[in-house]
Amino acid sequence: MILTLFSNLVFLVLGNALPCPPTITEMPVLVTWYDPALGGINCDVDCTTYADGTLVTPDDYGQVSACIPEWLGASLTIEGLGTFICRDTGSAIVVDYNEYYHGWVIHVDILHEEPPDWNYQLRHWQLNWSPVPEPSINSGAFLTVGGLNGSPGCSEDSAHPATMQPAPPEQFFSANRLTYTTNGMGGNSLAT
């Protein structure tokens, strides 16, 4: 295992290099569901309040989603499912390389009362605010768990989103996870 540091970004290299991530707008969302009323993995700390500070209400089911922190406050339209307000985040709401789909995905949880038939599916999406901010994973250089653009195993040609094939529920986990963290100076960075 090799630890590589590039301007506030820390990546653990775990053997084989992954393809470079495409821009965030080229990645599909991997849609799952959650219900804070169930507790446990459905909420990180306070199960009564979203990350934006608003209280969870019964009217929010089917209307609210947990998104990456950069999307808080935006409306997210997911193909075939509808439009959801990004009010929440969570430890599993990340941008990562998904082994099953063989590509980079954006995890999104939709507030729902029971397991839906669309659970663990990839969908096209649109963020409804202007302009759409580009998260820091591709501002400046293509970054990957395997290295920087031009290094072995990573090139602009290898950047690709996940394929849009359905996955069985047991295949959703990916150990190659990148998460956003606040660097304490008002900016965001990636951490593993």
pLDDT digits (tens, 9 = 90+) for 131-172: 444 444 433 333 233 332 333 344 455 555 565 554 443 433
State which amino acid sits at residue 80.
Answer: G
Over residues 25-81, the pLDDT tens digits come to: 999 999 999 999 999 999 888 899 999 999 999 999 999 999 999 999 999 999 999
Looking at residue 176, its pLDDT comes to 37
- Compare 177 and 27 and report the one with higher pLDDT: 27
Q: Which span out of 3-7, 24-28, 177-181 was modeled with the highest average pLDDT?
A: 24-28
pLDDT in the model for residue 44: 80
Both tokens of 26, joined, read: 């080229």
- The Cα 27–Cα 20 span in angstroms is 12
Q: What is the pLDDT of residue 45?
A: 81
- Nearest residue to 179 via CA among 122, 100, 97: 97
Can you tell me the distance from the alpha carbon of 172 to that of 174, in angstroms, rounded to the nearest whole number?
7
The three-state secondary structure class of 60 is helix
**Tokens standing for residue 42:** 């459905």
Whether 180 shows a pLDDT value over 50: the answer reads no
CB 18 within 8 A of CB 95: no
In sign, the C-alpha dihedral spanning 151, 17, 123, 43 is negative
Q: Would you call 58 helix, strand, or coil by DSSP?
A: helix
